[in-house]
Chains A and B, each alone.
Chain A
Amino acid sequence: MKRLNAELVLDLVARTLGIELRAGSGGRAAGSGNAIEAALDAVAGHSLFDTEPAQFERELRRLRGESGDD
């Protein structure tokens, strides 16, 4: 299956939003996107509840060990 070119996608989205892009933006998006895609492909999430700020705060509190004070 062919993947959409990141440069083309950025151009399409910008046009949809009515935003004028700077020259070279598409190339930069492709460059940074590749590294991010690779990092995300290497990890697996559990629940979308984990995307909530309150859930992350609970995790921070759980991991604080002996520090902090309720």
Chain B
Amino acid sequence: MTDPTTLTLVGAAEAVRQGRLSARELTQATIAKAERLQPVLNCFIHRHPEQALAAADAADAARRRGAALGPLHGVPLAHKDMFYRAGLVSTCGSAIRKDFLPTQTATVLGRLDAAGAIDLGGLNMSEFAFGPTGHNAHWGDCRNPWNPDHVTGGSSSGSGSCVAARIAFGALGSDTGGSVRLPAGLCGVVGLKPTQTRVSRHGAMGLSFSLDAVGPLARTVRDCARLFTLIAGHDPEDPTSSRLAVPDCEATTLAPQIKGLRIGVPSNYYYDLATDEVRDLMRASLRVFADLGAEIVDVAVPEHERVRELASAVIIPEAATLHAAWLRERPHDYGAQVRARIELGLSFPAHRYLQALQVRSEILRRFVQKVFSRCDVLHAPVLAFPVPTRAETDVKDGPSFPTVLARMTWCTSPINYLGLPGLAVPCGFTSNGLPGAFQLVGRPFAEGDLFRVGAAYEQAGIWTERAPAL
């Protein structure tokens, strides 16, 4: 029989639903794979094999008695270790919270539980979700399945690595400046940063109240769409979550048509740091879209250098607010880089912070009017250069760290300030054997459009069929 861990999320759910595979068989296979690959990839901070198998047995029993089965019935997932589950430790990738026992369960976990998913454990992440490379001073670096010497991208490092390694069938991450799209793109899987307010943040660790977004990573666009459709939508526990109805985004991936769609290619900013190899990958992906009938148009993106700085003006003071007490009481329990970054926000002027929020809607309006009057979807790299090694980017709080981090998030962080949805889709490999990816950016709440366009590309190519040799 085929190794069940090589199935897609949708394929695994279908196999369990039809009884071709039991939830226990599927879960056992993923647990065994996680066990084998943990020394290589360090994806997990903690695993719960007994609980996972008990949940799998319950799922099999439910099927035997003819109970209604959810769209993830018996499918093993794992999530960034910052989504709280009552009674289970959630470290947030830190030493400070190594024994933190939440008393509540994140709404997104509750929704996945209700859909029948099985939770394998907490995944590695950058400390307090504040780092774009995937290094972690406390729990060890998470490693890229395509080459463990290279970074996974962060902060949802374990989510990217675990899904790419075909351990879990999907994972949740969070994205404040690129933290879903980077690990998805750098590990060769699909990842969505939803529109701000689209997904509940109740029971998820915060970093920047105004910019944090919870999003899924999965092996295919359709898998990702299924996870998104399940977790999105208003939550009374998160008063900032939108009441806008959530369409069935998975349906948009089934027979995707993009004939006549206008795909915008930024004529400024996004290619400022791009290497020839990344330009070649982007051009090749655009050729696929053109062959599918899309119209490729050049688009100037307004005031992006400024938008990057405005994002910092929001993140830095919000992070300092959340961390001030720990900075006072446990400064030495932080990794050097995270502490250095948070300290910057302590003296950030209140009026400047409010100003950065005050102009956000106006800047979003200008962006939407200028960009989406010319195109339906914007296409840009996730990372402007080939995936670097862990050694190259292990800069801690040394003098080069602001530059290294700025380069990593160059293409992703503006989208967080704008609050727009962004879908990272793998599109081939650079000469170092590591994945490359583009991101599709759409109007607010246009996740369905992004999934449709991403699925059209994916179905025309072969990238999701390639898996790392592990």
Contacts and interface: CB of A to CB of B under 8 A. Distances in A.
Given A25-B343, A50-B360, A67-B445, A57 B309 contact: no
A28 B168 CA distance: 40
Interface in B350-365: 352, 354-365
B336 interface: yes
A40 B442 contact: no
A50 B357 contact: yes
B327 A36 contact: no
B372 A65 contact: yes
Contacts of B363: 43
A2 B285 CA distance: 53
A20 to B, nearest CB: 5
Contacts of A38: 309
A50 B446 contact: no
A23 to B, nearest CB: 9
A61 B242 contact: yes
A22 B195 contact: no
From B245, B358, B363, residue with most partner A Cβ within 10 Å: B358
Contacts of A10: 343-344, 346-347
Given A32-B316, A38-B309, A56 B360 contact: yes
B328 interface: yes
B416 interface: no
Contacts of A44: 359
Contact of B242 (A12, A25, A60): A60
Nearest to B345: A29
A62 B422 CA distance: 19
A33 B359 CA distance: 18
B339 to A, nearest CB: 6
Given A40-B356, A60-B419, A17 B346 contact: yes
B449 interface: yes
Contacts of B357: 50-51, 56
A53 B210 contact: yes
B402 interface: yes
Interface in A11-70: 12-14, 17-22, 24-25, 28-29, 31-33, 35-40, 42-48, 50-51, 53-57, 59-61, 63-65, 67-70
Nearest to A27: B399
B242 A57 contact: yes
A22 B358 contact: no
Nearest to A63: B368
Range of interface residues on chain A? 35 or more
Contacts of A33: 348
Interface in B315-352: 316, 324, 327-328, 331, 336, 339-340, 343-344, 346-348, 352
B20 interface: no
A47 B244 contact: no
Interface string B226-261: 000000000000001010110100000000000000
Given A42-B306, A43-B359, A22 B328 contact: no
A57 B310 contact: no
B148 interface: no
A6 B348 CA distance: 9
B443 interface: yes
A14 B358 contact: no
A10 B366 CA distance: 34
Nearest to B327: A19
Closest 6 CB pairs of A and B: A45-B358, A39-B309, A68-B445, A67-B446, A60-B444, A51-B357
13 contacts: A10-B343, A17-B346, A22-B340, A29-B343, A32-B402, A39-B306, A50-B361, A56-B210, A56-B360, A60-B444, A61-B242, A64-B446, A67-B444
